Structures are given as structure tokens and as C-alpha cells.
Amino acid sequence: SEIYGTINGFRLGSVPSQPVEWEEINAAWGQTALLLQTLVSYWDFTFPLFRVAPMGSFSRIIKRDDDKCIWDLYCQSDMGFGRLFGYGSFDKGMAAFLECVRALQDHVRSVDPSFSPPYRIVDHKVEEFSVKLQFNTYERWTK
């Protein structure tokens, strides 16, 4: 079975045995940002905490009450200080993205009580898997 989630052919993750370049992962995040923004438009919904800025491979999440608080949905590389000291903006961006998905799920459920999301999102985790790279393995992050 496929070990990666994919969107429009772009892989959203990487494992040491089958590495994926950051350019492809960033493109996948850009596609997910565009999809989320499309769903928000369809449901005529506004995220309470964030705005999604789909910008291809350089998409971002912007805090609604502070336009200067911008987090990335892309990563330059996992070499050097990024892996050692955390991915900062990228980790925060992925966690904010999950919060947006959770908020949209709640909205859809309020409109359609029969809606049942397949996975539980709490904070920066889908089920028990964190989307943050810091203190994580690529295998768990890719799940």
C-alpha cells in the first residue's frame, strides 16, 4: 500500500527508505491549502482564528487578529539548525492548518449532524500522530 498521502499526485511526507524532495512536499501543502480554501468558500465559512493564504509551494497561514503573525506551510530543508532547533514557522503553520480543518469540521457538523469526520483532530495531532516535525520521526510525521 502507498505510504504517503497524496494530493494531485504530490506526496505529503517523506520516509528515509523512500525520500521525497521538499519541493514536492511544499507543492502538496500548497494544494491542501487551496483545497481547504475552496471548501471554506463552498460552505461560506470564516475561520475564527486564521486565514489560509494558498500561494502554491509557498502557502501560508495568517493569524486573523495579527496580520504580522504569518506561518509557513512550506519548508526550505531539513538540514542544519532546522532539525536541531525545530521547524518554527512550518510546525506552527501545520498546527494552525489542522485547527482550520477542525473548525471547518465543526461548522459542517453544525449544518449536517450526520457528518462524521474519519479522524479526530486535537491540537497539533490527527489521532495520536503529530503534524509537527520537531521531536518527531519522518515515519510518524508522514502517517
- Indicate whether this model's pTM tops 0.95: no
Q: Among all chains, which residue has been given the C-alpha cell 465559512?
A: 45
- Say what the pLDDT of residue 134 is: 64
Total residues found in the chain within this entry: 143
SS3 53: strand
How far apart are alpha carbons 69 and 56 in whole angstroms? 19
The DSSP secondary-structure symbol of 55 reads: B
| Ordered alpha helix ranges (H), the chain | 22-42, 81-85, 89-111, 138-142
pLDDT number for residue 1: 41
Q: Residue 126's beta-bridge partner residues?
A: 121, 129
Question: Nearest CA to 131 among 23, 2, 32, 9?
Answer: 32
Give the Cα separation of 52 and 64 in Å (integer).
Answer: 10
**pLDDT (tens place) for every residue of the chain, 143 residues total:** 477 788 999 988 887 788 888 899 899 999 999 999 999 999 999 999 999 999 999 999 999 999 999 999 998 765 544 444 556 788 899 999 999 999 999 999 999 999 999 989 998 888 887 777 665 555 555 55
